[in-house]
Amino acid sequence: MVIWIIGKSGSGKSFISKFLKKTLKTKKNKLVWIDGDKFRKKFSKDLGFSFSDRKKNSKRIQNHCKKFDKMGYIVICSILSIFKDHQKQNRKIFSKYIQIYIDVNLNILKTRNNKKIYSEKKNIVGEDIKFPVPYKSDLVIKNDFTIKFLKNVKLIKKKIYE
């Protein structure tokens, strides 16, 4: 099973994924969390942040998830995921696929700017590179940072156990 958590930078993907990983641990299933930022630092040092490099990185992450899925892991993947063709493929290549979109207004992200990317960098998804609404998300969470994140994790877990 692959739980693909999508959202713009700073939307809370990693924060929610980290907590989800802690609460989903079971004795039967192996569990792995693949974070897009950490993956890029470890496996995609050769890539920049252009549209084509982002697509290559996304494909690498998808292939990495596929390997873990085939080995029987539950995979939590927190990723920008701006490529609808990859999202469509995910439904075909993974044993079970749940797509969760963390939807945050860009103005809120710019105001929070916790990673300092909305003021200091170029090729920002949501500004310089379009962030399309994800293809057929199984769950959309509107995150305005006022709802306690545990409520969001409960929504995700409910969707996983359906």
Closest CA to 29 of 81, 71, 62, 61: 71
* Residue percentage of the chain with pLDDT more than 70: 84
Provide the β-strand partners of residue 77. 4, 34
Instruction: Name residues whose C-beta falls within 8 Å of residue 76's C-beta, 6 or more positions apart in sequence.
Output: 3, 5, 17, 20, 21, 24, 31, 32, 33, 34
Q: What is the pLDDT of residues 60-74, one digit of tens each?
A: 999 999 999 999 999
Domain that holds residue 15: 2-161
* CATH number of the domain residue 73 falls in: 3.40.50.300
The total of structural domains in the chain comes to 1
Q: What is the pLDDT of residues 72-117, one digit of tens each?
A: 999 999 998 888 889 999 999 999 999 999 888 877 877 776 666 6
**Bigger pLDDT: 74 vs 146:** 74
Question: Across all residues in the chain, what is the average pLDDT?
Answer: 84
Structure tokens at 63: 């292939």
Residues tagged active-site: 81
